[in-house]
Amino acid sequence: MAQAEALATQGPSPQREITDGFCFFKGAIMPLADANVNISTHALNYGTGCFEGIRAYWNAEQEQLYIVKGLEHFKRLLQSSRILKIKSAYTAEELLDWTVRTLKENGYRENVYIRPLAFKAAQVVKVTLTGLRDEIAIFTVPMGDYVKTEGLRAVVSNWTRVADNIIPSRAKVTGAYINPALANDAATADGYDEAIMLSTDGQVSEASSANLFVVRDGTLVTTPITADILEGITRRAVLQLADQFAIPYEIRPIDRTELYIADEMFLAGTGAQIASITSVDRRAVGDGELGPVTQRLQGLYNRAVRGQEERYLDWLTPVYT
């Protein structure tokens, strides 16, 4: 219980290695400790893999664990795989079924993070994508908040967001994540919680590992998919919630200086969930507190992913029957 509470308040620790439980690997559920790859594996040497991040939320009252938008995530994994020429032996529906079975095997009664991974598994030295053996794996880990969900301090990074014509932005490519890792590490070293990245044209792209929203004069604004962002599943969910609340929204480019005059700002992503940013480059966002639009969206989202909003039950896949 103490460990679960620590995860919920502090997020995952980079010092805590994942060693326990069961995973899906090589077509079967097995102990995570037995799911290993060789150091000559292509994906380890060249970053030739793609992944997803999926959450499952525990509803104690219903004694149910809900996977959030699992099918959408696996469809995006297969799209990423197609870009990298990774062949999947499984459909999105089959991968979701293996995830349910893996979660059941682990017997979780807490919030969980799910990591599917598709990668070039061949043990060769060759810079290519063609003619290599592929593999898919899924592992899971208990997880509370990835970042705190209120009062985040952000900085505009001097690391530029990698362009789609350099490394595909809409694919969650493993090797590409050195780009946000550099940005986030620099931000935290300077005392910030998150980095906001600009694209090569100098306009706002997204945060280091989440999509970005601002609120101006009651209108929700987020960057378009052509701004070198990941086509976020939580981003789409936020726009769906905005429709529910009749909150107007725009999908358009955002200038850097708009960050300094926004009334509200928040992250949206599977890991980040909906997390409010209250300062950028040491300038307060609005009045420096959680804003009303963010608060409404955050509250509805938190209820929806836990099976407490009937209209959004189609987002969810129950694990225990």
**What backbone torsions phi and psi does residue 54 show, to the nearest 5 degrees?**
-130, 140
User: Could you tell me which residues come within 8 angstroms of residue 37 by beta carbon, excluding any fewer than 6 positions away?
Assistant: 43, 44, 121
Beta pairing class for 204-207 and 112-120:
unpaired
Strands 194-198 and 152-156 turn out to be: parallel
Residues paired with 289 in a beta bridge: none
| Phi, then psi, of 24 in degrees rounded to 5 | -105, 125
**Burial class of residue 225 (count of CB atoms within 10 Å of its CB; 0-12, 13-18, 19+):** middle
* 116 touches 73 (CB < 8 A): yes
Q: Please answer whether residues 240 and 287 qualify as being in contact, where contact means their C-beta atoms are separated by less than 8 angstroms.
A: no
Amino acid at 158: N
Indicate if 172 belongs to the active site: yes
Phi, psi of 15 (to 5 degrees): -90, -15
Q: Which residues are identified as catalytic?
A: 172
